[in-house]
Structure 1
Amino acid sequence: MSGGNRAPRAPRPEQVDLTAARHPWQEVPMPGANLGFHLTRLASRSGAFVVHGHFPPGFSRDVAGGYLVDEEFVVLAGELHLGDATYRRGDLTYIPAGAVRTRMTAPGGATVLAWFGGPAVFHPADQLPAGAAPVAETVHLGPGAVLLDLPGATWTPGDQVPGGATGDVVSADLSGWRRLGTGPAPRPGDYVRVEK
């Protein structure tokens, strides 16, 4: 028998308590890094790659490179350093496809939610398209934040979600994540990533 005895793959979580003491992390290698990245792959629409992840204390990657798809991430805990920028709890950051990232570190560790527009395959800088936008756009999630309107999604307050929308809900206090349509309706202070 070939492959007939494989255990079925567990469904990806549609809701996560981000404050839980333990998470079902899976450690995966990160090219060019000194340590592995711990992640739980989350439910998402087809073709997207969405994770709840943790960079362990002392994590660093000195290889310059990037992804061929757009990325968005929210820092939930700790600090993540990309080049000269430092991202902290509540920072929502967008990095366009092809952007070159230089050194990345998480000296004390960092926990994130991250959305990739497709497979999260890291490419060295010399394999990325020339002329890609090198900048990241960041907003700090909090009352009155001007949220991001991006190529793949629009971030909106929970009370402004269009009917029939698909996407993700991040609770106002960053304590929970869920797919839109699971659990209670978003509250006005929640952050909703509405897929385009």
Structure 2
Amino acid sequence: MLVDLLDADLPTRDFLIPGANLPVRQTRLDGLSSLVRFPPGWARPERGHYLAGEEFVVLEGELRLSGITYEAGRHGWLPAGTLRHSGAAPVGALVFTAFAGEDSWVSSDLDEPDGPSLRTPLETVVIPEGGLRLTPHSALLDTPVALGGPAEMITVPTWTWERSTLIPEGRVLVRWTP
């Protein structure tokens, strides 16, 4: 099934992210993947980290995390244990997000990441032959190939999502289930 991630009519539920001031609207896609709409003025001043790494793509608006602004078309990877602070979506944001395990939030000032944080412009980054590894569970590819098993795929920049065994034509963020 092909899902248009920009479709405003996707079913959602209100969800209050731990430590945040306003609820977000969440659409569960598959397993640990969701589409999250942050309302204008959303903020999470609480400091802490998740016990699992989080991969995300900002589709609309902008998301600020720990002093870094992620604009539309940007991919982010925050490993498990990465300290988060000053989270905000001043103008709102639509974000695809996927955790590499259970998304348990821990309030703290500790910073014990299990790898480097990354920020990548998906539409303009150069993709080397064989693809660009973005996280332990994903890569940006631009060559159609068949996979040994199903994976999540987000086409760039049309922002569609599907689970498939065939990578389509164009730039595609491919996520393998951890």
Q: Check whether TM > 0.5.
A: yes
Q: How many residues align?
A: 174
TM-score, normalisation: structure 1: 0.79
Go from structure 1 to structure 2 and tell me whether the alpha carbon gap of 1:149 and 1:58 turns closer, same or farther (over 3 Å shift).
closer
Pair 133,117 (structure 1): closer, same or farther in 2 beyond 3 Å: closer
Deviation at 1:115, TM superposition (A): 0.9
Instruction: Show structure 2 runs of 5+ residues with no match.
Output: none
Is residue 138 from structure 1 mapped to residue 119 from structure 2 by the alignment? yes
Q: Which amino acid aligns with 2:135?
A: L
Q: Does 1:112 align with 2:95?
A: yes
Greater share of strand residues, 1 or 2? 2
Determine the C-alpha separation between the residues in 2 that align with 1:83 and 1:149. Answer: 20
Q: Give SS of 1:79's match.
A: strand
Q: Is the 8 A contact 1:143 1:189 kept in 2?
A: no
Instruction: Measure how far apart 1:133 and its partner are.
Output: 5.2
> What is the CA–CA distance in structure 1 between the aligned matches of 2:138 and 2:18, rounded to whole Å?
30
Structure 1 outlier segments of 4+, above 6 Å: none
Deviation for aligned residue 1:143? 4.4
Aligned mate of 1:83, from 66, 74, 89? 66
Distance of aligned partners of 1:135 and 1:35 in 2 relative to their CA distance in 1, 3 Å threshold: farther
- Report how far residue 117 of structure 1 moved: 1.2
1:193 equivalenced with 2:175 (yes/no): yes
Q: Write the letter of the residue equivalent to 1:86.
A: T
Q: What root-mean-square deviation, in Å, do the aligned CA atoms of Structure 1 and Structure 2 show? A: 2.3
Query: Do residues 148 (structure 1) and 133 (structure 2) align?
Result: yes
Q: Report the 3-state secondary structure (helix = DSSP H, G, I; strand = E; otherwise coil) of the residue aligned with 1:190.
A: strand
| Residues 1:159 and 1:138: Cα distance change in structure 2 (over 3 Å) | same
In the alignment, structure 1 residue 159 sits paired with structure 2 residue 143: yes
Aligned-partner Cα distance in 2 for 1:166–1:106: 33
Aligned-residue offset at 1:84: 1.2
CA distance in 2, matches of 1:16, 1:140: 22
- Give the letter for the 1:187 counterpart: E
When residues 60 and 94 of structure 1 are mapped into structure 2, their CA distance, relative to the original with a 3 A threshold, is same
Tell me the equivalent position of 2:37. 54
**Could you say what secondary structure the match of 1:171 adopts?**
strand
Deviations 1:154-181 (CA, angstroms, capped at 9, x unpaired)? 3131425453143211112243111124
Alignment of 1:61-80 (within 5 A): 61-80=44-63
| CA distance, structure 1, for counterparts of residue 47 and residue 3 of structure 2 | 32
Deviations 1:59-109 (Å, cap 9, x if unpaired)?
Answer: 001000110001100000000011211001111111000111011000110
Does the CA-based 8 Å contact 2:141-2:171 persist in structure 1?
Answer: yes
Amino acid of the structure 1 residue aligned with 2:55: E
Is 2:159 the counterpart of 1:175?
yes
| TM-score of the two chains, using structure 2 as the length reference | 0.86
Q: Residue deviations 1:119-177, cap 9 Å, x none? A: 21211025x6x6335852111001453433422x1313142545314321111224311
Structure 1: tracts of 5 or more residues without a match: 1-13
Looking at structure 2, the residues matched to 169 and 41 of structure 1 have their Cα atoms a distance apart, in angstroms, of: 15
> Are 2:54 and 2:99, in contact at CA under 8 Å, matched by a contact in 1?
yes
